[in-house]
Structure 1
C-alpha cells in the first residue's frame, strides 16, 4: 500500500479508557519496557493498565488510529506550576510514541499541533515535558528550563551533627505531613509543580516498595521538611529532600549522617543551581549536572498577562519579532508594555522591532534559566544593548526548580 493511501486511512481522535490496553502496549513498545523490568519493580501487566487508567480519564490523550488499532499517541496532563509566585495552568506532555512502521508520516507533528491548540483553549499557557531527545523537542518549540544535579557523598564526608531545636520522625510515604510540607515548599520555589493527586501518583509510580520517609518537626511540632529515601547495598539513596527553612535542612542531614555506620555512600539529586558541595565541610564530592525538563510557552499573550515582571520606576515598552515553529499565534511582531508595578501586556503588531527571538529563547529567558545578556551573547536573542539591559531589569533573578517526573 502506498504511504499516501495509508495516510488517508488513518484517523486522529481521542484515546479513551476502552483503548487502555493499546495505550499501554504502545508505551511499553516505544520505551522498551520489558516484563523482566516490570517484575523487578513489582508491577504486573494488569496493575500497569489499572494505574494508567487515571491518565486516560484525567488527561487529554490524542491518538492516530489505523482502523481500530492505536498506532501513535500523546497525553497532556492537567498540572499547575508556580512561576515567580504566580500559579499557572500547565500542560504536561507525556506518553509520546508512534509504532516504527508508521514513522515519517508527520503523525506526531499533527498530534502536537492539536494538543497545543487544546492547551490554549484550556488556558494552559505553558507546557512542560521530559525529553527523550532534546533536539527533537527544540524543533517543536520546547527549550531546557531546569537542571538535575546528581551527587555522591562518601560516609566520611557526611556533615557533622549540628544542634537543632526539632526532631526527625520516620513515617510512611503516605503520611499527610509530606504533602503539607511539599505544598508550602512548592509555593516558595519558582517553576515547581503544585502536586495534585495525579501528580503525586506519577511522581511515586515506579518507586520501590521499601521507599520510606523522614519528616523534620520543629520545636512547635510543625512539619518543616521531609526526606524520601531507601537503603540498599550500603548505599543511602535519596529520592527527594524538601525543606521550607534551613533548620529543617540541617535536621534532615543530621538524620542522614546518623546512618554513618550503616552506609558507605549517600547518593541523591538536587534540582537547583546551588551545588551541594559548598554546604559540606569536605566539599570534595562527586557532582554531575545534566539538563532535566523542557518547557514551551503555548500562548505568549496569556503567559505575559500572568507573568510578574520586576517593578520599574517608569513604564517600559518593547516591540519584538517572535518566531514559533508550530503555532501561528506566536509568530510575528508583538509589543510588550510593562507598567511600574510589573504588570505586562502583550499585543500583536508594532513597527521596527528592537529584538528578535524564537519561542524557545523567550521561554528559557522568561523562566529565568538563561539570562537575556547570555542569550544575546550567544546569538539566541538579536537585540541592541539598551534592549538587553531593559530585559535584564524586567526579569526576576531566580533559577527554576523542578523535581517531578511524569
Structure 2
C-alpha cells in the first residue's frame, strides 16, 4: 500500500506539505478501501512497484438500464519506466478482468484526452462551471416546501440521489463504496441541505460551503422544478454573506436560461470519458427504443481489444441478440471510441458522420437517431 501511495504521490506531484497536512495514517486509511474492494494491478521491478492501475466496481445508468462499470483510476508509471509498454499491458489486463466480471463499460477521468482516445476511450460528458454575482441571484420563488441542513450522509440525500440517478443517463448508481469515495477529500468542509415538499418528501439536495465571501455549490440535485427553486431560495438567503455563487453543472443545460439576469460567466469543459469493454454483450443489453426492428450490422475497430474487432450483427427479431458475422456487409462502420459516444448520446449519429467519425448512409443515420434514446449524459462523480 505504501508503494502505491508513493507512486501516485510522485506521478500526480503531491508535495511533502500536502502529505503532512493530510497525514500519512489518514492517507493509508483512505487507500485501504481501494486495496480491499478494487482490482489493483501493477508491474514490479524486483520488489519495487513501478507502474499501476486501479479499477473500481461501480454501476451506471444508461438510458434507464443499469450496467456494471469499471471505474479506472490510480494510473501511473515512474518516468524511468516510461515507453516500455507497461501501461498498455496493464490496460489490456484490467479490461480483460472487467470482461470476466461482466463490467461491459469503463469510465475514467482523463489526464490526457489524446492518450486515452488512442486506447479506446472517448468523451461522454461535460461540466459547466459558472459564476453568479450576488445581484444576479434569483428573487425568492414561492414554493410550498422547506429546506433543512442535514448531516453529510443523511439518508434523505441518498434517497433523492437514488431517484435521480435512475433517470439521469450516464449517472453513477452509487453503492456504499461510491458514497464513501464521494467528496472524500473535502467532506469535512461541506454542509448538506435537503428540500422537502409540502408532504415532507425529500425531492432535492445540495452540498455546499461558504468561504471567502463566496457560496460554492459542490453538488445540486433536484427531481422537480419546485425543488430547484427551493434550493435557489436557500442560496439567495445568503445574499448578505457573499458576493459570488460558484458551482458546476454536469449536463449541457446552461444555468443562464433559468436566471432573470442571464449575463453570467459560464465555461464548458469535457469531463469524463468511457469505453465499451465488450461490444456484443453491451449491444445485447443496450435499451434501444421501440422503433428498433430487423437487423443492424456494426463494423467495429478497437486498438486494444481483439474481441471487439469485427462485424457485430444486432437482430431485434423476437429476442434481441448479437452475433459476429465478419462476412456480412456493415450498415455502420466506426471505431470503439465513437461507438460509446454514439450510444450514450453525447453526440448524435448525424454529427458523427458529418465530422468523419462514422460511416453510414442517410437512411441508417436516421434509423440510428430513432432507436438510440435522446437523453443527454450526466455524470458528476470523481474517482
TM norm. shorter chain > 0.5? yes
- 2:152–2:187: 8 Å Cα contact kept in structure 1? no
Q: Unaligned regions of 5+ residues in structure 2, if any?
A: none
What TM-score, normalized by structure 2, do the two folds share? 0.97
* TM-superposition CA deviations, 1:335-387 (whole Å, max 9, x none): 122348xx742210142212210000101000000000000011100111111
Q: What secondary structure, in the 3-state scheme, does the structure 2 residue paired with 1:24 have?
A: helix
Aligned-residue CA RMSD (Å): 1.2
Q: 1:32 aligns with which of 13, 24, 38?
A: 13
* TM-superposition CA deviations, 1:8-48 (whole Å, max 9, x none): xxxxxxxxxxxx11111111111111132345xx5211111
**Residue aligning to 1:292:** 271
- 1:309–1:344: 8 Å Cα contact kept in structure 2? no
What is the correspondence of 1:276-287 to structure 2 with a 5 Å cutoff? 276-287=255-266
**Residue aligning to 2:349:** 372
Confirm whether residue 326 of structure 1 aligns to residue 277 of structure 2: no
**Residue aligning to 1:303:** 282
Q: Equivalents in 1 of 2:18, 2:258: separation in Å?
A: 37
**Residue aligning to 2:207:** 228
1:178 deviates by 1.1
* TM-superposition CA deviations, 1:172-207 (whole Å, max 9, x none): 212221111111111111110011121112222111
- The runs of at least 4 aligned residues of structure 1 exceeding 4 Å deviation read none
Q: Equivalents in 2 of 1:260, 1:199: separation in Å?
A: 33
Q: Equivalents in 1 of 2:294, 2:273: separation in Å?
A: 29
Q: What secondary structure, in the 3-state scheme, does the structure 1 residue paired with 2:209 have?
A: strand
**Residue aligning to 1:264:** 243
Q: Equivalents in 2 of 1:307, 1:43: separation in Å?
A: 42
Q: What secondary structure, in the 3-state scheme, does the structure 2 residue paired with 1:70 have?
A: strand
Q: 1:395 aligns with which of 355, 372, 380?
A: 372
- 1:62–1:111: 8 Å Cα contact kept in structure 2? yes
What is the correspondence of 1:59-70 to structure 2 with a 5 Å cutoff? 59-70=38-49
What is the correspondence of 1:347-386 to structure 2 with a 5 Å cutoff? 347-349=323-325, 350-386=327-363
Q: Equivalents in 2 of 1:54, 1:180: separation in Å?
A: 24
Q: Equivalents in 2 of 1:288, 1:373: separation in Å?
A: 25
**Residue aligning to 2:60:** 81
Confirm whether residue 52 of structure 1 aligns to residue 31 of structure 2: yes
Confirm whether residue 193 of structure 1 aligns to residue 169 of structure 2: no
Q: Equivalents in 2 of 1:273, 1:76: separation in Å?
A: 28
- 1:309–1:338: 8 Å Cα contact kept in structure 2? no
What TM-score, normalized by structure 1, do the two folds share? 0.92
Q: What secondary structure, in the 3-state scheme, does the structure 1 residue paired with 2:217 have?
A: strand
Q: 1:298 to 1:164 in 2, by over 3 A?
A: same
Q: What secondary structure, in the 3-state scheme, does the structure 2 residue paired with 1:204 have?
A: coil
1:208 deviates by 5.4
Q: What secondary structure, in the 3-state scheme, does the structure 2 residue paired with 1:353 have?
A: coil
Confirm whether residue 404 of structure 1 aligns to residue 381 of structure 2: yes
Q: Equivalents in 2 of 1:81, 1:320: separation in Å?
A: 24
**Residue aligning to 1:338:** 316
Q: 2:124 aligns with which of 128, 131, 145?
A: 145
- 1:65–1:72: 8 Å Cα contact kept in structure 2? yes
Q: 1:344 to 1:33 in 2, by over 3 A?
A: farther
Q: 1:91 aligns with which of 70, 78, 84?
A: 70
- 1:151–1:267: 8 Å Cα contact kept in structure 2? yes
Number of aligned residue pairs: 382
Q: Equivalents in 2 of 1:339, 1:397: separation in Å?
A: 23
Q: 2:89 aligns with which of 102, 110, 134?
A: 110
Q: 1:315 to 1:174 in 2, by over 3 A?
A: closer
1:320 deviates by 2.6
Q: What secondary structure, in the 3-state scheme, does the structure 2 residue paired with 1:132 have?
A: coil
1:393 deviates by 1.0
